[in-house]
Amino acid sequence: MDVARRPAQSAPGIATQDLTDARLQVASWGTPVEELALLDPPPAGTWEAAGQRLSSLGAIDEAGTATALGRTLASLPLDPPLGRALLASSAILGASKAARFVALLSEDLRAPGADLGALERRLGRAGASDAGIGKAQAARVKETQARLERLARRLAETGAGDDRGASTWDCAAKGRTREDELALTCALAYPEWIARRRTNSTAYILAGGVGAELPQGCPLEGQEWLAVASIDRAPASRHARILAAVPLSEEDALAAGAALVATRTQASIRKGALRATRTRALGAIPLSSAPASSLSEEEATALVAEHLASRGLGDLCWGKEASSLRERMRVLHDVLGEPWPDVSDEALAGSARRWLAPWAKHLASGASLNCVSMLDALRSMLPWPQAARLDELVPEKMPIPSGGTRPVDWSGAHPVLTLRVQQAFGWTDTPRLVDGRVPLVLHLTDPAGRPAAVTSDLTSFWAGPYRDVRAQLRGRYPKHPWPEDPLHAQPTNRAKRRG
């Protein structure tokens, strides 16, 4: 039965294996993976995770190009995390200790009670029979240690190593115990697995963003920081299980995970004004947070732009004139296209850094978003010299037969002009706007302003539907003219004259 359920062929290795070393080799070659003649492309998620891991090691830069350290790691007969740990820790602890710890980390570790420090101590003190690992595994660790020590000494002689050097950790080098040294080596290998205990919880958050828990009764419970060497995560579990870890000082956590330490500025709009908070974090681990006492103009515009992109444009002050201009510009873009700009929510949010620039100083000082004149912002986007035809193409108001003007409503699918039936007498040529491409829709009302008819073809309206409107309304509004021949009647804004 098991054989029958098996797939016809096993999945290719590129779809199931860790691709950290493969991605580093590709980065060192300098050839995009898309240009390689691979039988199967790497899964996007696995490839991205490999890139994040290499970035945390300092092996690739933001563009995905191998750094000097990355090129050295690519040349070593070691997985990149272990190679980085060997290079960096041998410069601090010496080749013998570094090789010892990296040899231990190269094993499939499942420490009793997840206590990696206790495992290492027992292994060094009593041998395999009392170490919680088999004799074969103990022999492998010893053999690997010897090989790695030779490699570390050879690299030291040739001057290869972590391009940041041992000085990065000199400030914390004094007074380390052997367990501290193991923790630093582990953190250098797996900076994404540096863990900090959550506030008021026994659970941990890893720098890579994964939640994790220690096994019950673990002697490491209560430790603020851990260097994690091995984790396991069941598909249905909220947290990963920590299988091997060792207590880590905050100073060494920050040094080993230096590539992941960043200060981010987050903003919100409270009471109409920009309020920013600066948060320093090691990957997903928060370190400190405080209100931003001052912002640069560039920061202010960038933060407001991010807020508009995520929350919409509702916090801006849209007056009647600005809203009307935006609606007219929308029609021009939809009908004529370039060079008339896109003024949709998405487009305005995407270009916000540019049009917010004139108010950057005010925003940086904490002024309300009301200081941003959206009317001026929209006017600054109008293309010249085409903007000279704005009122001709999409008029804000239009003259009507009875005299005066009425506003055009551009907010809907078609422009709308509202007037009373009596004001339209004699009008037969319904206007077409935007160079004749868009018909004007007339909303004709009774004398009280209630809807009587909707048309974009006045000639047809006077010839037919007007009769029904006249029959229904002339008895209700006898003081207003309802001629049988509206085509030749005088349009009026007034009721009939008396007597």
pLDDT band for position 35 (cuts 50, 70, 90): low
Average the pLDDT over 64-76 and give the result.
Answer: 90
Using DSSP's 3-state secondary structure scheme, residue 192 falls into: helix
The single residue listed with the structure tokens 């984790």 is 231
Cα distance between the two ends of the chain: 104
Q: For 138, what's the count of Cα atoms within 13 Å in the CB-facing half-sphere?
A: 17
130 pLDDT more than 60: no
* Residue 86: alpha-carbon gap to chain centroid: 35
Question: Among 136, 351, 340, 115, which residue's Cα sits nearest to residue 247?
Answer: 115
Task: Output the six-digit token pair for 366.
Answer: 């904490």
Order the strands of the 273-282 sheet from edge to edge. 261-270, 273-282, 285-291
Judged on CB neighbours under 10 Å (0-12, 13-18, 19+), 419 is buried
Answer whether 195's CB lies under 8 Å from 116's CB: no
Distance of alpha carbon 423 from alpha carbon 436, whole angstroms: 23
Hey, which bits of 257-340 come out as E strands? 261-270, 273-282, 285-291
| Sequence-distant contacts of 141-147: CB under 8 A, at least 24 apart | 141/103, 141/104, 141/106, 141/107, 142/103, 144/99, 144/102, 144/103, 144/106, 145/99, 145/100, 145/103, 146/99, 147/99
For the stretch 483-492, pLDDT in tens is: 999 988 899 8
Q: Is the dihedral of CA 411, 416, 419, 421 positive or negative?
A: negative
Distance of alpha carbon 207 from alpha carbon 285, whole angstroms: 5
128 pLDDT more than 50: no
Residue 225: how many other CB atoms lie within 10 Å: 23
Distance of alpha carbon 404 from alpha carbon 402, whole angstroms: 7
What DSSP element (H or E) covers 178? helix 178-189
For the stretch 299-320, pLDDT in tens is: 888 888 988 888 888 888 888 9
Q: How much is the pLDDT for 165?
A: 43
pTM of the predicted model, to two decimals? 0.66
The single residue listed with the structure tokens 């272990």 is 82
**Any residues with CB less than 8 A from the CB of 142 and at least 6 apart, and which?**
103
Q: Which amino acid is at 91?
A: A
Of residues 134 and 229, the one with the higher pLDDT is 229
Q: For 430, what's the count of Cα atoms within 13 Å in the CB-facing half-sphere?
A: 21
pLDDT band for position 169 (cuts 50, 70, 90): very low
3-state helix, strand, coil in the chain (%, to 5): 45, 15, 35
What DSSP element (H or E) covers 181? helix 178-189
Average the pLDDT over 315-342 and give the result.
Answer: 93
Distance of alpha carbon 17 from alpha carbon 450, whole angstroms: 72
Question: Among 213, 173, 184, which residue's Cα sits nearest to residue 197?
Answer: 213
- Average pLDDT of the chain to the nearest whole number: 86
For the stretch 374-417, pLDDT in tens is: 999 999 999 999 999 999 999 999 999 999 999 999 998 899 99
Answer whether 316's CB lies under 8 Å from 307's CB: no
**Any residues with CB less than 8 A from the CB of 478 and at least 6 apart, and which?**
none
What DSSP element (H or E) covers 445? strand 441-445
Using DSSP's 3-state secondary structure scheme, residue 379 falls into: helix
- 431 to 199, 279, 410: CA distances (angstroms): 68, 58, 14
Task: Output the six-digit token pair for 415.
Answer: 């422009």
Helices (H) and strands (E) in the chain, counts: 20, 15
**Any residues with CB less than 8 A from the CB of 174 and at least 6 apart, and which?**
none
Q: Residues of the chain with pLDDT > 90: what percent?
A: 54
Distance of alpha carbon 196 from alpha carbon 186, whole angstroms: 15
Q: How much is the pLDDT for 5?
A: 62
**Any residues with CB less than 8 A from the CB of 404 and at least 6 apart, and which?**
493
Angle between helices 320-336 and 374-381 (to 10 degrees): 20
Distance of alpha carbon 325 from alpha carbon 227, whole angstroms: 59
